[in-house]
Structure 1
Amino acid sequence: MSFRQIASAHHRENLRYHNGLPDGWNRDRFRQLCVCYAQIRGASAQCIRTLEIIIDMISPCAFRDPSQEPFCYARQETLIAGRGLTDRTIHNHERELEAIGLIERRLGANGARCKRKGLGLFLTPALNLIPEMRDADVRSKAEKKEHDALRGDRSRLYRYVKHSLAVLASLPCPPEGFDELMARFRSWPRADKLKYMSVDGLRSHVQAVHDLWKWIEIHIAKPGEISGEPEACFGCHIQDQIEEKILSCNVDGEATMPSAKTTEPDCSGLESNHPAVIEPRKAQKLPRVNNRTLYELASSELRMHIDIAGGGDQKFCPTLYAIETGVWSRLSEIGTNISAWHAATDRLTLMGAILAGVITDARLSDPKLPPVVNPGGYLRGMVQAEERGDLNLIASFMGLLARRAREEEQALRSDGAPPANALTRAW
């Protein structure tokens, strides 16, 4: 074998291969995926910025052609590009990117880079890592979604447990083990610390909070009342009849009743999960309706979410916590952003937001009105209408009542039974 044949064989052994970008992809989409993966692997912001510069310095066609390897042969001074970094920092960035499998450093003596000699920072490992990076991105987004949902559950549970402990503390004879409950309550991490907890740790914490809430609910729940909300001094707006005026309500869902006085539990060291209202505002007029009526007005999909939040069993008179959690879960399922829900609770109060959520969900399947394309926008529109003073939740509620009555009457007729109004006339 000649020296030329040996050199050619050696060259073929050193070639690195890749399949190029997936169909429909371009360099920018590949860069976004690499950035997400680097963030998942814990790379610093400066290191990620170095990666972006490296990718931008490579021709887009190099990523699509499997016959050539995309590589950056720019000097470290070029990668710095006035960012105020040192050569040593760029060197550490390159080492870190190589360690997580995004680049391969093929450099000459003293770190030399040369286009003609094929020396530089190669992106071939990242191209071959695309399936793994996409799987990691999907897992990361799923974990983030679960983490956000768990923090939302903890925020709601915190509010109900706090109010319920206030009721137990006001009793002449608190139940046995109340001091231990208060100690557990004070030991909970603050709301701003939850985002640093792992998903498993947060899941265990929320389960512990839920178990404590269920224990408290047994001791304060009474038939005909909203379980989970404190009793007389913490009565909520959901009652038995329709009225034009209701009590003002803050963002935590507490009813402002000046005639009632209750001692709050000592929550020193724990921050509130909801900001306080800076400026008082006129309360939105809300109908008074009990939990059972709200459950009957809900759609079948919303009822399913309420049942899940209440423990999985069908309850025709669920707790307020189950209603609130179920309404938000349903709104999230149909595409409502969390910021829209927060805007509704801040402006309409918790009770108004729950009723607006029930109306928004029912509006999706109303055959007599144009379909709602954006449920989140519809909910935001209700908030904006309230800011203008044009929102009338009572009229919307009465319209939903009439619609459910018509649906029930049609269902009775389809089953062959006489309608309810006919039975009334017969009597």
Structure 2
Amino acid sequence: MHLAYRQESELRPHLPKGMQRGDVERLLVICAPRLGLTSSQLHVLLVMMHHTRPEDWTSPERDPMCFAAQSAIADDLEISPRALRAIERQLEDRGLLSRDTGAGGQRGKWGDFALGHSFAPLIERVPDLVALDAQRAAGRQRAQVLRRQLSALRRQLREKTEQLLTAVPKSPALPPLLSAMAALPRRYADLPLDRLELLRADLEVLHRHAIDAFSETERKPCRSEVDDRPHIQDTSYNDACICNVSSATKRTSGKPLDTVYSASAPNGAEAGQENKGGGYVSPHKPDLLTSFTPRALYNAASNDFRLYLDGYKRGVLPDAGTFIQAAIAILPDLGVNLSAWDEATEAMGDLAAALSVLVIDANRFHPARPIHSPGGALRAFTRKARAGTLNLAGSLIGLLERSRNGRSAA
């Protein structure tokens, strides 16, 4: 309890410019668990705040005070005055209000002298509430990113395992991989952030084991000459695999795009098929990371995108999974709603969506036509992919040319 009398010239704690009492109430509702507030304590606090004048929260000359009689507030809350007094003491102990009442519990205002409940301590805690809210929002956004990364990793793991199962059904690597896949949780929505982080790391390890096991089968000399094809990172696919590769790797006529910057696959492009995700399936046709080398794409990416690639890559150069994980991670920085990513992957597949993000991010700094709305641009790419008019290869060629010319000029 402190002396309620003050000099008129004394400046009082007040809300930052642009904030109102309602903003504090919203923060309290959101941050109550982190403040250790029970539902009863929060309810009492909000009711008492409603008995203050809204303008006193923003005035540097007055404290927001609750002058309502204790019996009246207890009646509003349908609790006993004794229970109310106990909660008031708890709120004071948490530094959310200060109690200034007369000996008989009197409350009121007489000139510059006031008796009641002051919320000046709560105003001083507002920066802490804002920080807690920002932390909560960042955690929620991080969880949303992790769920998309987990889904992408799970698809890649399934695809690589299917390739291994088709190529070497008795591979000793298969039983532990299949067992680990069966133990994965079906849903991620209810998992806490730390569990999502651990699960992403575990899935990454499993995916790497599947890649290594499949690569080992390709290096064995006992394979037939027909099946023996040069291994290009993890982009060579077996006839029986099911994968998501971009419809953007086709011309509008449905034919595969000519490869650029590297040679065609040994057996040439073959007829493919459309799967549920809108991806193009071809067992021997090079994918986007064969047509456009990872080194060239890495050099053409923005500095921000390269930072994410460096964080996720496991070797000297990024692979398809690295581009996908980095693209998902950078979306919040670009202000792209994650629903736009979901639509893009459904329309064109994970890898094409990731390289679309790479192009869009790099073109924010285009010398003539910079992209100001990455989210709008990604949705535009998605619409074109659905219509069969997306020329992602052309966009990548333009980006690589600009990157190469920039390095030459430097």
Relative to the length of structure 2, the TM-score reads: 0.69
- Within a 5 Å distance, the mapping from 1:337-416 to structure 2 comes to 337-369=337-369, 371-385=370-384, 389=387, 392-394=389-391, 396-402=392-398, 404-405=400-401, 407-409=403-405, 411-412=407-408, 414=409
**Which residue of 10, 20, 32 corresponds with 2:13?**
20
Question: 1:204 offset after TM fit, Å?
Answer: 2.6
CA offset digits 1:316-337 (Å, max 9, x no partner): xx32211111222334322212
CA distance in 1, matches of 2:132, 2:232: 47
Classify the secondary structure of the residue corresponding to 2:310. Answer: helix
Aligned to 1:211: 205
Q: 1:210 to 1:42 in 2, by over 3 A?
A: farther
CA distance in 1, matches of 2:80, 2:17: 38
Q: 1:242 to 1:50 in 2, by over 3 A?
A: same
Question: 1:304 offset after TM fit, Å?
Answer: 3.8
CA distance in 2, matches of 1:150, 1:407: 31
Residue identity matched to 2:139: E
Q: 1:108 to 1:86 in 2, by over 3 A?
A: farther
Residue identity matched to 2:140: K
CA distance in 1, matches of 2:106, 2:238: 75
Question: 1:218 offset after TM fit, Å?
Answer: 1.0
CA distance in 2, matches of 1:381, 1:80: 57
Q: 1:142 to 1:254 in 2, by over 3 A?
A: same
Aligned to 2:260: none
Question: 1:231 offset after TM fit, Å?
Answer: 3.5
Question: 1:56 offset after TM fit, Å?
Answer: 3.8
CA distance in 1, matches of 2:371, 2:96: 44
**Which residue of 6, 23, 34 corresponds with 2:28?**
34
Aligned to 2:137: 141
CA distance in 2, matches of 1:47, 1:13: 24
Aligned to 1:299: 301
Aligned to 1:70: 64
Matched, 1:248 2:274: yes
Aligned to 2:263: none
- Whether the aligned pair in 2 keeps the contact of 1:70 and 1:123 (CA below 8 Å) is yes
CA distance in 1, matches of 2:358, 2:74: 55
CA offset digits 1:215-259 (Å, max 9, x no partner): 2221124654462886432355369x86542632434x86568x9
CA distance in 2, matches of 1:341, 1:363: 18
Matched, 1:234 2:231: no
**Which residue of 170, 173, 178 corresponds with 2:170?**
173
Q: Percent identity?
A: 20
- Within a 5 Å distance, the mapping from 1:115-154 to structure 2 comes to 115-116=108-109, 120-154=116-150
- Within a 5 Å distance, the mapping from 1:275-290 to structure 2 comes to 289-290=288-289
CA offset digits 1:7-40 (Å, max 9, x no partner): xxx974998x984125425324444443443253
Residue identity matched to 2:66: C
Relative to the length of structure 1, the TM-score reads: 0.67
Classify the secondary structure of the residue corresponding to 1:332. Answer: helix
Residue identity matched to 1:146: R
Structure 1 unmatched ranges of 5 or more: 1-9, 260-286, 416-427
- Within a 5 Å distance, the mapping from 1:66-105 to structure 2 comes to 68-74=62-68, 86-87=78-79, 91=84, 97=91, 100-104=94-98
Give the alignment's Cα RMSD to 1 decimal. Answer: 4.3
- Within a 5 Å distance, the mapping from 1:99-114 to structure 2 comes to 100-104=94-98, 114=107
Structure 1 residues 163-172 or 116-125, which shifts more?
116-125
- Whether the aligned pair in 1 keeps the contact of 2:106 and 2:115 (CA below 8 Å) is yes
Question: 1:65 offset after TM fit, Å?
Answer: 4.7
Classify the secondary structure of the residue corresponding to 1:87. Answer: coil
Question: 1:303 offset after TM fit, Å?
Answer: 3.8
- Whether the aligned pair in 1 keeps the contact of 2:348 and 2:385 (CA below 8 Å) is yes
Classify the secondary structure of the residue corresponding to 1:364. Answer: helix
- Whether the aligned pair in 1 keeps the contact of 2:20 and 2:54 (CA below 8 Å) is yes
**Which residue of 308, 313, 316 corresponds with 1:310?**
313
CA distance in 2, matches of 1:225, 1:361: 26
Q: 1:86 to 1:169 in 2, by over 3 A?
A: farther
CA distance in 2, matches of 1:306, 1:151: 18
Q: Which has the higher contact order (CA 8 A, sep 6+)?
A: 2
Structure 2 unmatched ranges of 5 or more: 219-229, 255-271
Q: 1:164 to 1:74 in 2, by over 3 A?
A: farther
Question: 1:373 offset after TM fit, Å?
Answer: 1.6
Aligned to 2:319: 319
CA distance in 2, matches of 1:156, 1:81: 55
Q: 1:393 to 1:76 in 2, by over 3 A?
A: farther
Q: 1:162 to 1:154 in 2, by over 3 A?
A: same
Aligned to 1:3: none
Residue identity matched to 1:127: I
**Which residue of 180, 187, 196 corresponds with 1:184?**
180
- Whether the aligned pair in 2 keeps the contact of 1:35 and 1:52 (CA below 8 Å) is no
CA distance in 2, matches of 1:119, 1:410: 71
